[in-house]
Every structure is written in C-alpha cells, then in structure tokens.
Amino acid sequence: MSRRQDIDQLRGVAILLMVMVHSAATWAPSDASTTNVLALVIAGLGGLAAPLFVTVGGWVTVQSNWTLRKALIRFIFLYAAQIAVNISASQRFDLYSPGVLTLFALLYLTAPLWVRISENLQLTIVVAISLLALNHSLLSYHEALTWDERTYVGGILEHIKHLLLTGTYPFLPWVLFSIIGASLNNHKPSQRTLLALGTGGVLVSAYFLYRSVQDEIPFAQPVGEAMLTFFPANSAFLIAAFSGVLLIWTMLENRQSTIGLHHLGRLSLTLYVLHFIPLSVFTDMDLNLYSASIITLGYTLLWWPLSVIHQARIPKYSLENAMRNMTHQREEEGA
C-alpha cells in the first residue's frame, strides 16, 4: 500500500513541534517567564507534538499488517532506540527511563486490543470517557512526582510502573490518542465533523482558561500547579490536546505536500533520536530571550531541509528502514 503524503505531513508537523519544545526547554533563559505570550505559544504548540504523534501512530497501525513476531521485533527495536535517547540526554533521563518510544513499543504490542475498540464508535466514546475519568481519579496518586521521580528507575517494578502510569509518557492515558487515531481511520469522519469536534473542544478549553483566571493559577505548565499539565497529562490537557489534534488533522488531511513537509514524517523516528544529541552537547549555553528564540527557531527548521536532502540522496539509511528490514515486511503505510 502506497504511503499517504498527508499522513506523513501530520507526522512531520509533530516532529517539528517536538524539536521546538525540547530545544526551547533546553535553551530558555533561567529567568524567562512561563506566562508571557511567547512561552504560552510554545507551550501550546509544543504540547500538541506527542498527542499528534500518537494519534498518527494509531491511524497507521490500522493500515499495518500486525503480527506478534513483527510486534515483538518493533518492541525490542523501539526499546533500544529509547535507551539511545536516554544515553544522549543523560542529564534528563535515567538509562532505563520509559519515554515516548517505549510508549510506541507498548502501543504496537497491544494494538489488537485498542484497534478492536476503535472499530465500534459507541464503544470508542465510552472507553474515551472512561479513560478520562480514570485518569482524573488516579491523578492524586502521582501528580506530585517531580521530574526526577518520573524518570528515575531503580528496578524492573519501577520501570513497569513508569511505563504504565507514572512516567513521562505512560500507557495510561496516552493510549487514548491511539484509539482516537485508529477511530479516525476506521470511521473516516467528515471535515465538518472534525471541525465541529475540534471547535467544541476549544470552547471547553476556553472555559479552563476562564477558570484559571478566576482561581489565579497558571493556565498551562509542563509540571506543577496549573489548569493544564503535561507531566502528568491531566484530563484538561487531554481535552485541549484532542481539540488541537483534530483541528490540525482538519487542515492537513487529504492535502498533498508541496513544500516537502512529508519528508520529515518519513524520518520521524530517526529525527526524534538524533535531535537530542546537539541539545545535550550545547545544553549549557547562556542565552537571553531573543537569542534563545532565534536559535530555537533555526534549530527546529534546520531538520526540514535536511530531511528533504536525506530522502533525495540516501533514503535507505534511517532507523525506519532498519526496523522494516528487521521485520522482513514490505513497506506499508506508516511503517
């Protein structure tokens, strides 16, 4: 099955947002405000990176010829890639910290379960609401954990706990976005439906903003006290992210790439692993807000032309191609 450029574009947007938020977090001045307009824009857009990644992953998994053998090989490969990330960003992660790549490993391994759920629209809605409620009820168990506590792994049981619930990208609640992505593939909602759902979510998010002003707490923060938090991903964040993902999906679905954005999507795994290396090497730069903003923007956009050059000259040299070769599968949509 041929690859769809619009899906690769969506994944390309996700990797750009991921690079942007990671580089902004690395090079932001220590005295930078987290409530100014620029910080809120970066936090808002960057917060959509992982939800969009996982949603696209759910969509392409429906297209995939899933087998247990293929799932196990991908599981091992993605775990190894996560360890490579942890080594290159050792100032942020423990060697065996679960992250977004281990999340993808577990999601693909469990795909038969959540893809089956996504095939029934009513069941999808019930499960989505149940996951939001469960996530909210479990939040008190781990919302006070610091970054170090979320990334430190003292043994196999702690690794499993972080992988499933208390880590940076735990299976619960992130499986929700996989179910949404698979549902988008299975039911193919119209642009009008997607726009209506996304707009409805934006209105709910506007209420969250109103509440944050009334209660005098920050609207969005990666960690700490705020109406929307990413670590852990609270239910308010999940609703806002769901809205943003649907609106981006509405803008890019069924639209062909004319500026090479889809090349980024074809290298999302490779770029995700590689982009941490310069961030780790230059992590101690002392920058003011202006220079940090320019460097962050330049570093983010740099990967775009590099991906175009790569796909034109050496397309076979990538982690994606290595993983396909290991599973002995023909290239398929989103593989």
Q: Say what percent of the chain tops pLDDT 90.
A: 81
79-92 mean pLDDT: 96
pTM for the model: 0.94
205-214 mean pLDDT: 94
Identify the residue with better confidence: 22 or 39. Answer: 22
Q: Is 126 helix (H, G, I), strand (E, B) or coil?
A: helix
The pLDDT value given to residue 333: 44
User: What is the per-residue pLDDT across 213-253, written as a single tens digit (0 to 9) for each?
Assistant: 999 998 888 888 899 999 999 999 999 999 999 999 999 99
The pLDDT value given to residue 286: 87
The number of beta carbons lying within 10 Å of the beta carbon of residue 251 is 15
Average pLDDT of the chain to the nearest whole number: 93
Q: With 80 as the cut, is the pLDDT of residue 136 above it?
A: yes
Q: With 90 as the cut, is the pLDDT of residue 330 above it?
A: no
The pLDDT value given to residue 329: 54
The pLDDT value given to residue 334: 45
123-133 mean pLDDT: 97
Q: With 50 as the cut, is the pLDDT of residue 68 above it?
A: yes
User: What is the per-residue pLDDT across 259-317, written as a single tens digit (0 to 9) for each?
Assistant: 889 999 999 999 999 999 999 999 988 888 889 999 999 999 999 999 999 999 999 99
Residue with tokens 């969506």: 10
The pLDDT value given to residue 31: 74
Query: In terms of C-beta density within 10 A (0-12 exposed, 13-18 middle, 19 or more buried), how is residue 63 classed?
Result: middle
User: What is the per-residue pLDDT across 251-275, written as a single tens digit (0 to 9) for each?
Assistant: 999 988 778 899 999 999 999 999 9
Q: Can you give the residue ranges of every domain in the chain?
A: 5-327
Q: With 50 as the cut, is the pLDDT of residue 335 above it?
A: no
Please state which of the ranges 28-42, 55-69, 77-91, 93-107 shows the lowest mean pLDDT: 28-42
pLDDT-derived band at 48, boundaries 50, 70, 90: very high
Helix (H), strand (E) counts: the chain: 17, 2
The pLDDT value given to residue 10: 96
Q: Which residues contact 37 (CB under 8 A, 6 or more apart)?
A: none
Q: With 70 as the cut, is the pLDDT of residue 36 above it?
A: no
CA dist 48 and 243 (Å) reads 10
The pLDDT value given to residue 34: 65
Q: What is the helix (H) or strand (E) element at residue 20, kind and residue range?
A: helix 5-27
> In DSSP terms, which residues pair with 221 in a beta bridge?
229
pLDDT-derived band at 331, boundaries 50, 70, 90: very low
